[in-house]
């Protein structure tokens, strides 16, 4: 027999396994307490009132074998001798496109400019300690893409529950904890992601797919408005029934290549600003209404803030982005001569600091003279801000920083705070780096955010710049339903870089859809 219970629990009841079991057994009314199988289905924290509660939905089985938790991602057919498709980029979009292609009986050939996760780690150490930026191996490029050394937050605004569940199940079948199927705000953590990415790689290789690391695509093989394949930096031609282009938001050379080859692309609105770092304990106290600390059971608190601002008659949102409780700020530049910051956190989120992007929406009409760069307008704007940050902070990977109240009152920060950002900070006037329309809006919004989170606006927090890779500054157009480029047949712009995803899960979902559409089109054309 199966029962489903909806419970409102204290943090201890929800997160202490033995206590949780006791409570559920009691609430279930079953008597064979030893043999009961208990499975949480959903779990979310409600911190709106002073007493924090956890809402848990749980299923309890008595004398009945429960169905398996996951259905997706267990076995893959052998595609060694099947028709190939070319996938450029081994981020979430590329890897999930490859797995879906295998399920559909075609052979993925994945080309990735960066290195496998283990070799990549050495380049990240050199970036953090020696300030060396390898343009092919960094926090954005390499096996698993920008998703590998990230927070591994797995929430998405997509409403496609079935598709989201599928992605989560595939992640679980490759090593993620089953908790991600349950938590309202699931995350994996940067310490767990590399092993998971290696397991995804093994599934692709074991099924007969190919993955080529340190293989950069430098040209497209175009024939009569159709793509036949790509050319790599080693001069090799790689051909396939179609090309899924999943190169991420930082592959500027790909955007330049598309422009050079007259493939339609367009400038896209995005967002730009800074990363804000507070003490995690302060965020816990604000969010959980506690005096001292969050106690032993609650996870480190997160936040999400939005503030509308009006400047020169134009309304733009200022919003927190990719908040990382207990996390680190990392140097996410992809070329020497620029500073880009981003955030990540380990699975336990037990670091001392809380960081979050705090960014301003950038619309195309804000770009003024940059429009001379045509479809690359937003990208060049983004690049110039990153370069200005590098120059202002002393031409290393040390990042420009300013304490929060000092920034708003336009005062120099004589002393900066301790930080999680390993390459170090340089006290800088952030207004001098950020374009006026961004810095002014940030300065307007931050004090107002204190109304929603009392204590958020404080000089015990600092702004670290620049957070500029929030989403792609370019869109590669595609047919809404068929997902094919409107001008180049068999080309499937995919994932975050093409403008169709914003995060790990949505990129993975888009990868799957592109593989499905490409294979469906191939089958249709063979029947015709
Ligand atoms: P990417 O992951 O960017 O992958 C693109 C791949 O293409 C890269 O591996 C790149 O090397 C490769 N490539 C580029 N050009 C070429 C070429 N010419 N030839 C061959 N290969 C090429 N999202 C979340 O949902 N949750 C988070 O917690 C989170 N935290 C993040 C933390 C950090 C530090 C960063 C940088 C990003 C984070 N993100 C997070 C964003 C998330 O990682 C991206 O949204 C996601 O990875 C996009 O997937 P993608 O496959 O479209 O592109």
Question: Cα separations (Å) of 17 from 38, 59, 62, 65, 344?
Answer: 11, 15, 19, 21, 27
Cis bond upstream, residue 466 (ω within 30) = yes
- Measured CA to CA, the distance from residue 141 to residue 120 in angstroms comes to 9
Q: Is residue 77 situated within a structural domain?
A: no
Mean of pLDDT values over 491-498: 98
pLDDT digits (tens, 9 = 90+) for 93-127: 999 999 999 999 999 999 999 999 999 999 999 99
Q: Is residue 206 situated within a structural domain?
A: yes
Total count of residues recorded for the chain:
528
With contact defined as beta carbons under 8 Å apart, do 471 and 342 qualify?
Answer: no
- Measured CA to CA, the distance from residue 508 to residue 73 in angstroms comes to 13
Residue nearest to atom 6 of ligand 1 (CA): 89
Q: Ligand 1: does its nearest atom lie under 6 Å from the Cβ of 243?
A: no
Residue 36: which CATH number? 3.30.1660
Q: Is residue 503 situated within a structural domain?
A: yes
Q: Is the pLDDT of residue 450 over 90?
A: yes
- The neighbouring-strand residues paired with 14 are none
Q: Which pLDDT score is estimated for 447? A: 98
pLDDT digits (tens, 9 = 90+) for 185-197: 999 988 999 999 9
Q: Is the pLDDT of residue 73 over 80?
A: no
Q: How far is the CA of 147 from the centre of ligand 1 (A)?
A: 5
Q: Is the pLDDT of residue 68 over 80?
A: yes
DSSP character for 357?
E
Give percent of the chain above pLDDT 90: 88
pLDDT digits (tens, 9 = 90+) for 393-409: 999 999 999 999 999 99
Count of structural domains, the chain? 3
Q: How far is the CA of 303 from the centre of ligand 1 (A)?
A: 23
Match 């050394």 to its residue by tokens. 149
Q: Which of 90, 116, 107, 112 is nearest to 208 (CA)?
A: 107
- Measured CA to CA, the distance from residue 177 to residue 154 in angstroms comes to 12
Q: b/e string for 91-129 if b means 16 or more Cβ within 10 A?
A: bbbbbbbbbbbbbbebbbbbbbbbbbbeebeebbeebbe
Q: Is residue 372 situated within a structural domain?
A: no
Give percent of the chain above pLDDT 70: 99
Q: Which pLDDT score is estimated for 295? A: 84
Instruction: Tell whether 214 and 297 lie within a shared domain.
Output: no
Q: Is residue 69 situated within a structural domain?
A: no
Q: How far is the CA of 313 from the centre of ligand 1 (A)?
A: 35
**Domain termination residue (choose one: 446, 467, 488):** 467
Q: Ligand 1: does its nearest atom lie under 6 Å from the Cβ of 92?
A: yes
Q: How confident is the model at residue 209 (pLDDT cuts 50, 70, 90)?
A: very high
Instruction: Tell whether 439 and 488 lie within a shared domain.
Output: no
Q: Which of 416, 404, 422 is nearest to 331 (CA)?
A: 422
Instruction: Tell whether 148 and 185 lie within a shared domain.
Output: yes
Positive or negative, the CA dihedral 413, 397, 92, 515 is: positive
With contact defined as beta carbons under 8 Å apart, do 353 and 278 qualify?
Answer: yes
Q: Ligand 1: does its nearest atom lie under 6 Å from the Cβ of 330?
A: yes
Q: How confident is the model at residue 528 (pLDDT cuts 50, 70, 90)?
A: confident
Q: Ligand 1: does its nearest atom lie under 6 Å from the Cβ of 325?
A: no
- Measured CA to CA, the distance from residue 135 to residue 214 in angstroms comes to 11
392 phi, psi to nearest 5 deg: -65, -30
- Measured CA to CA, the distance from residue 510 to residue 517 in angstroms comes to 11
pLDDT digits (tens, 9 = 90+) for 226-278: 999 999 999 999 999 999 999 999 999 999 999 999 999 999 999 999 999 99
Residue nearest to atom 36 of ligand 1 (CA): 146
**Domain termination residue (choose one: 422, 442, 467):** 467
Q: Is residue 341 situated within a structural domain?
A: yes
Q: Is the pLDDT of residue 458 over 80?
A: yes
Mean of pLDDT values over 440-466: 98
Instruction: Tell whether 177 and 290 lie within a shared domain.
Output: no
pLDDT digits (tens, 9 = 90+) for 342-380: 999 998 899 999 999 999 999 999 999 999 999 999 999
Instruction: Tell whether 152 and 104 lie within a shared domain.
Output: yes
Instruction: Tell whether 187 and 210 lie within a shared domain.
Output: yes
Q: Is the pLDDT of residue 327 over 70?
A: yes
Q: Which pLDDT score is estimated for 155? A: 83
The ligand 1 atom nearest the CA atom of 249: 3
Q: Which pLDDT score is estimated for 254? A: 98
Instruction: Tell whether 515 and 440 lie within a shared domain.
Output: no
Instruction: Tell whether 319 and 430 lie within a shared domain.
Output: yes
Q: How far is the CA of 143 from the centre of ligand 1 (A)?
A: 9
**Domain termination residue (choose one: 29, 61, 93):** 61
Q: Ligand 1: does its nearest atom lie under 6 Å from the Cβ of 497?
A: yes
Q: Which pLDDT score is estimated for 63? A: 84
Residue 98: which CATH number? 3.50.50.60
pLDDT digits (tens, 9 = 90+) for 284-302: 999 999 888 888 899 999 9
Instruction: Tell whether 222 and 326 lie within a shared domain.
Output: no
Q: Is residue 461 situated within a structural domain?
A: yes
Instruction: Tell whether 146 and 180 lie within a shared domain.
Output: yes
pLDDT digits (tens, 9 = 90+) for 37-56: 999 999 999 999 889 999 99
Q: Is the pLDDT of residue 60 over 70?
A: yes
- Measured CA to CA, the distance from residue 154 to residue 167 in angstroms comes to 10
Q: How far is the CA of 140 from the centre of ligand 1 (A)?
A: 5
Q: Which pLDDT score is estimated for 72? A: 67
Q: Ligand 1: does its nearest atom lie under 6 Å from the Cβ of 251?
A: yes
Q: How confident is the model at residue 147 (pLDDT cuts 50, 70, 90)?
A: confident
Q: Is residue 72 situated within a structural domain?
A: no
Match 């749980």 to its residue by tokens. 58
Instruction: Tell whether 219 and 110 lie within a shared domain.
Output: yes
Residues 6+ apart with CB under 8 A from 87: 94, 97, 98, 101, 108, 109, 110, 111, 243, 244, 246
Instruction: Tell whether 332 and 357 lie within a shared domain.
Output: yes
- Please give the residue range of the domain that contains residue 513: 84-266+476-527
């Amino acid at each position: 027999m199966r029962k489903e219970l909806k419970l409102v629990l204290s943090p201890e009841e929800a997160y202490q396994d033995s206590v949780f079991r006791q409570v559920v057994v009691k609430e279930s009314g079953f008597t064979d307490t030893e043999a009961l199988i208990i499975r949480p289905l959903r779990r979310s924290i409600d911190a709106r009132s002073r007493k924090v509660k956890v809402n848990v939905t749980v299923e309890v089985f008595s004398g009945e074998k429960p169905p398996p938790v996951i259905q997706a991602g267990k076995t893959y057919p052998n595609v060694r001798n099947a028709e190939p498709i070319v996938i450029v980029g081994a981020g979430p979009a590329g890897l999930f496109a490859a797995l879906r292609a295998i399920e559909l009986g075609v052979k993925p050939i994945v080309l990735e400019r960066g290195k496998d996760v283990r070799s990549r780690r050495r380049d990240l150490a050199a970036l953090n300690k020696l300030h060396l930026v390898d343009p092919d191996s960094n926090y954005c490029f390499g096996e698993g893409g920008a998703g590998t050394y990230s927070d591994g937050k797995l929430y998405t605004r997509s409403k496609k529950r079935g598709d989201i569940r599928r992605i989560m199940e595939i992640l679980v079948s490759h090593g993620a904890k089953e908790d991600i199927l349950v938590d309202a705000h699931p995350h994996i953590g940067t310490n767990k992601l590399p092993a998971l990415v290696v397991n995804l790689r093994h599934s692709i290789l074991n099924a007969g797919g190919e993955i080529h690391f340190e293989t950069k695509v430098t040209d497209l093989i175009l024939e009569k408005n159709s793509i036949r394949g790509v050319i790599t930096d080693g001069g090799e031609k790689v051909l396939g029934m179609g090309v899924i282009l999943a190169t991420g938001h930082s592959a500027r050379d790909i955007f330049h290549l598309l422009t050079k080859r007259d493939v339609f692309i367009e400038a896209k609105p995005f967002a730009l600003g800074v990363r804000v770092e507070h003490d995690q304990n302060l965020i816990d106290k604000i969010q959980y209404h506690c005096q001292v600390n969050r106690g032993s059971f609650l996870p480190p608190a997160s936040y999400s803030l939005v503030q509308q601002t009006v400047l020169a008659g134009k309304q733009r949102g200022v919003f927190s982005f990719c908040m990382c409780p207990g996390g680190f700020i990392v140097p996410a530049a992809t070329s020497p001569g620029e500073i880009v910051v981003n955030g990540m956190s380990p699975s336990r989120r037990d670091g001392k600091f809380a960081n979050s992007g705090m960014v301003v929406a950038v619309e195309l009409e804000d770009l003024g003279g940059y429009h001379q760069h045509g479809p690359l307008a937003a990208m060049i704007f983004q690049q110039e801000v990153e370069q200005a940050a590098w120059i202002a902070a002393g031409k290393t990977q040390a990042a420009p920083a300013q304490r929060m109240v000092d920034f708003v009152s336009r005062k120099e920060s004589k002393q900066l705070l301790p930080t999680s950002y390993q390459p170090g900070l340089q006290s800088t006037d952030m207004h001098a780096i950020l374009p006026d329309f961004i810095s002014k809006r940030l300065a307007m919004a931050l004090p107002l955010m204190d109304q929603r989170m009392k204590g958020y606006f404080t000089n015990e927090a600092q702004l670290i710049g620049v957070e500029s890779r929030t989403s792609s500054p370019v869109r590669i157009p595609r047919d809404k339903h068929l997902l094919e480029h409107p001008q180049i047949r068999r080309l499937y712009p995919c994932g975050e870089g093409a403008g169709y995803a914003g995060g790990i899960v949505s990129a993975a979902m888009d990868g799957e859809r592109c593989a499905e559409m490409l294979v469906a089109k191939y089958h249709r054309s063979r029947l015709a």
